Amino acid sequence: MPRTRRARRDRDRDRMSATEGKMRFPIVDIRPVHVDDWRAYRAARLHSLEETPTSFGSTLAREVAFDDAQWMARMQSAPNRITFVAAAARNEDVLVGMATGLLGDERDDRVVELVGMWVHAELRGTGVAASLVNAVMRWARENDAIEATLWCSEVNPRGQRFYERCGFAWTGATYPSPSHPHLLDRRMTRAL
């Protein structure tokens, strides 16, 4: 192997992070979404709705019809809402994961709801999802939240196990999925 190729390979290997001692993945940057991210966010969101349609309260058909102004409005920060994204290390314009925290629910202003959680299929099981959840939970604690909640589809057992590893537990509450009413979403919560 030519010396430059070996050096590049070694450099790339050094930029990799081990997760749970078995998987390696390119370093990603977990950060709050920026207004300038709207095009990358739109691409990732539409991809997520196409790839895992039963995991969201919306549909691809609904969101593909959004105009640019609607996508840009989603990027606006608000005191009770934050979206974290996982941006690819070598290309900040490629988002490989996202998670949103909404502070305050119908029961209590100190509850944060985790919504819109998605990680690219090739990066599932690498720690990216846990990093996104941790970012939302850290933001929630900084905003005096005392509990986190989410809804997980009954047809997403991998997601259910992941959230359990993140400390969420079933409440017993269910309701029909807004995007797929023939399926049930199950509520999970955890203390902060």
Cα–Cα distance for residue pair 67/124, rounded to 1 Å: 30
Q: How many other CB atoms are found less than 10 A from the CB of residue 144?
A: 11
Cα–Cα distance for residue pair 49/36, rounded to 1 Å: 21
CA angle 140–142–145, rounded 5-degree value: 45
What's the longest Cα–Cα distance across the chain?
63
Domains and CATH numbers, the chain: 29-191 (3.40.630.30)
Q: Distance of CA 12 to CAs 7, 89, 93, 126, Å?
A: 8, 11, 20, 17
The answer to whether 136 touches 114, Cβ cutoff 8 Å, is: yes
Q: Is the overall model pTM greater than 0.85, yes or no?
A: no
Q: What is the pLDDT of residues 71-127, one digit of tens each?
A: 998 888 788 999 999 998 777 778 999 999 999 877 788 999 999 999 999 899 999
Please report the pLDDT score of residue 2 as a whole number: 47
The answer to whether 137 touches 192, Cβ cutoff 8 Å, is: yes
